[in-house]
Structure 1
Amino acid sequence: MSVITRNGPAGALTDDTLPRKKTALDAVLNFFRRQPLGTAGLAIMLVMFLAAAFANVLTPFDPEENDFQAMMQAPSWTHLLGTDQMGRDIFSRLVYGARTALLVGFSAAFAGGLIGLVLGVASAYFGGWFDLVFQRILDVLMAFPLIILALAVVSVFGTGVFNVILAITIPLIPRCGRVVRASALAVREIPYVDAARALGFGHTRIVLRHMVPNVVGPFLILLSAFVGQAILAEASLSYLGLGVQEPVPAWGLMLQGGAEEYATTAPWIAIFPGLAIVMAVLGISLFGDALRDAIDPKLRDR
């Protein structure tokens, strides 16, 4: 029998021949190597986060300041992306608009996702009348497209950032609850859930400590998709005049102000906010797809 030593005889196992334990850094580097599109999406998200975090440093002008002597100026060294019909610097409003997009997108996605996660797991665990009632409520909510249900909520509660977050959160709850419930039904049949009941664990402990961790994979993938949907929904509501209101910088609001009337005379007013929305949703979608491939064992080595 060979003895494991650092400097053993020929043929003996040494530290150099032992398999090295993978670290978190190895996992991150492997993700970058195997998922180039996901890495590109992550880079876009990082740019958004940095722009939102350091907006006051990156922007040369106040995004809410009107300059009627510089209305609709084309892109130049003074105004990198030009000015809008009120003389406001478009670059400054785009950078500050990233704060609004990220605030609404992540708040609505996490709120709707967490509520849907808890309700979906509870529905699968308890079953019976609770599952029946919960599924019928989901059927009613899922019958409405996200933007239509969000419009209904905004019409009741009014406009503003908080109300927009609430309006987008409500339609995301059934979308998360339905998917999580399907995964939790499979987890419920695993013997360790019955063992936890036999040991006298309460329902809350079984749901939160034994079932929720086993549906985190699909939940994380849903969250990444929800962030993109929430950003797009916020831009749509603001464009329709039912979301964020002036003078708060928001990409959809910037489109509302110049997308149609100034499409030919000052196209930069609509082009740059539109590109910002497209790049944000594209980056989050690419990262979400790559995260799905990395988490799902069936797709990991594709």
Structure 2
Amino acid sequence: MAAAETPAIERPAVLAWRRFSHRRVALVSLAVLVGIALATVGAELLAPYPQGRTHATDVLADPGRDYLLGTDTLGRDTLSQMLYAGRVTLAVGVSVALLATFGGTLIGMVAGYVGGAVDTALMRLTDTLLALPALMVVMMGARMLGDSIFDVVLVLSLLGWMAVARIIRGKVLSLREQEFVAAARAMGAGPGRVMFRHLLPNLVGEMAVAVSLATAGAILAESVLSFLGFGVSAAHTPTWGNMLGGNEGFMTVAPWLVISPGIAIVVTVLAVNFVGDGLRDAFDVRSDGHERQPRRASPRGASAGTPR
């Protein structure tokens, strides 16, 4: 007698990766991001010249065999500077995204689960900060704190958690009415245990999407601040943003000084956004409709396996 065939149950992470792998643009973007990250991390191995090395006789040299992307006003190889600067830019973007997502998730969970006056107070604070002119506030904060990497990360993180908090709060408001939350309460679980043990695992999808999109936003914000002279100082370390900001006056004389970091920023931000879109679809259960469903036992097979 043939046994009835039962559908296999896939883990959420495996199922999410299967959905993500169906998005070719997201996969290509992920490969591009990995390549950029490896190139910047291995800058010491890939860069033609050490960071900051100047060539006094080759100031503003055109791109060629010795300098693939030319040199800047101090005779530094642009390609080498790009690799070292990309390391800082990516580090700022990822650090801001992680800190902002952590803060937004914590505030959103507390507001959505506790509710009442706590929810009202936290959401009114969020609405107030969202109503402020973001660029002006960030510029003022960067001016008051300083222009080091830590200062820029701190300013962008303090002003980047509001959108994440709203998304997480909305998800928690729907989750807290589910049966598994009621069961945890009935078993004596306190608010902290319910939030971090039962609700937090169900927010991984929203958090992953928030991190990816916040990374793109932070890279753009750092680039804008550095371009305007309020971001990471070029005296501390090069970033793609301050490479743009320090060389915009040479667009007609040495366009590679602006085009190179500009293309790097655009490609990186586009890749991060495409990966974020892929993650959103991967964690969205409604995107399963077009995928093949697990095979179920046919009525004939079921009847054959049932003794009469």
User: So what's the TM-score if we normalise by structure 1?
Assistant: 0.89
The amino acid that maps onto 1:2 is: A
Q: 1:181 maps to what in 2?
A: 169
Aligned 1:66-145 pairs, distance under 5 A: 66-145=54-133
User: Larger relative contact order (C-alpha < 8 A, sep ≥ 6)?
Assistant: 2
Preserved CA contact (<8 Å) 2:212 2:272 = yes
Aligned 1:160-199 pairs, distance under 5 A: 160-199=148-187
Q: 1:44 maps to what in 2?
A: 32
Q: 1:217 maps to what in 2?
A: 205
**Following TM superposition, by how much is the alpha carbon of 1:301 offset from its aligned partner in structure 2, in angstroms?**
4.5
The amino acid that maps onto 2:190 is: G
Preserved CA contact (<8 Å) 1:111 1:169 = yes
The amino acid that maps onto 1:93 is: Q
Preserved CA contact (<8 Å) 1:255 1:274 = yes
Q: Runs of 5+ in structure 1 lacking a partner?
A: 4-12
Secondary structure of 2:83's aligned partner: helix
Secondary structure of 2:250's aligned partner: coil
Distance in 2 of aligned mates of 1:94 and 1:145: 31
**Following TM superposition, by how much is the alpha carbon of 1:51 offset from its aligned partner in structure 2, in angstroms?**
1.0
Alpha carbons of structure 1 residues 19 and 177: separation in structure 2 relative to 1, 3 Å = closer
Alpha carbons of structure 1 residues 145 and 288: separation in structure 2 relative to 1, 3 Å = farther
Distance in 2 of aligned mates of 1:27 and 1:186: 21
Q: 1:2 maps to what in 2?
A: 2
Preserved CA contact (<8 Å) 1:293 1:300 = no
Distance in 2 of aligned mates of 1:158 and 1:27: 41
**Following TM superposition, by how much is the alpha carbon of 1:37 offset from its aligned partner in structure 2, in angstroms?**
0.5
Distance in 2 of aligned mates of 1:227 and 1:116: 14
Distance in 1 of aligned mates of 2:173 and 2:211: 20
**Following TM superposition, by how much is the alpha carbon of 1:18 offset from its aligned partner in structure 2, in angstroms?**
8.7
Q: 1:250 maps to what in 2?
A: 239
**Following TM superposition, by how much is the alpha carbon of 1:219 offset from its aligned partner in structure 2, in angstroms?**
1.8
The amino acid that maps onto 2:244 is: L
**Following TM superposition, by how much is the alpha carbon of 1:62 offset from its aligned partner in structure 2, in angstroms?**
2.1
Matched, 1:59 2:47: yes
User: So what's the TM-score if we normalise by structure 2?
Assistant: 0.87
**Following TM superposition, by how much is the alpha carbon of 1:190 offset from its aligned partner in structure 2, in angstroms?**
1.2
Give percent identity, aligned residues only. Answer: 35
**Following TM superposition, by how much is the alpha carbon of 1:147 offset from its aligned partner in structure 2, in angstroms?**
2.9
Distance in 2 of aligned mates of 1:183 and 1:142: 19
Q: 1:263 maps to what in 2?
A: 251
* Segment drifting more, 281-290 vs 241-250: 241-250
Distance in 2 of aligned mates of 1:130 and 1:158: 33
Preserved CA contact (<8 Å) 2:222 2:231 = yes
Alpha carbons of structure 1 residues 179 and 28: separation in structure 2 relative to 1, 3 Å = closer
Runs in 1 of length 4+ with deviation above 4 angstroms?
17-30
Q: Runs of 5+ in structure 2 lacking a partner?
A: 291-308
Distance in 2 of aligned mates of 1:233 and 1:222: 16
Alpha carbons of structure 1 residues 20 and 175: separation in structure 2 relative to 1, 3 Å = closer
Preserved CA contact (<8 Å) 1:102 1:231 = yes
Distance in 2 of aligned mates of 1:189 and 1:102: 39
Matched, 1:237 2:217: no
Distance in 1 of aligned mates of 2:281 and 2:15: 17
Matched, 1:276 2:260: no
The amino acid that maps onto 1:69 is: T
Preserved CA contact (<8 Å) 2:109 2:168 = yes
The amino acid that maps onto 2:49 is: F
1:75-98 superposed Cα distances (whole Å, 9 cap, x missing partner)? 111111001111111100111111
**Following TM superposition, by how much is the alpha carbon of 1:291 offset from its aligned partner in structure 2, in angstroms?**
1.3
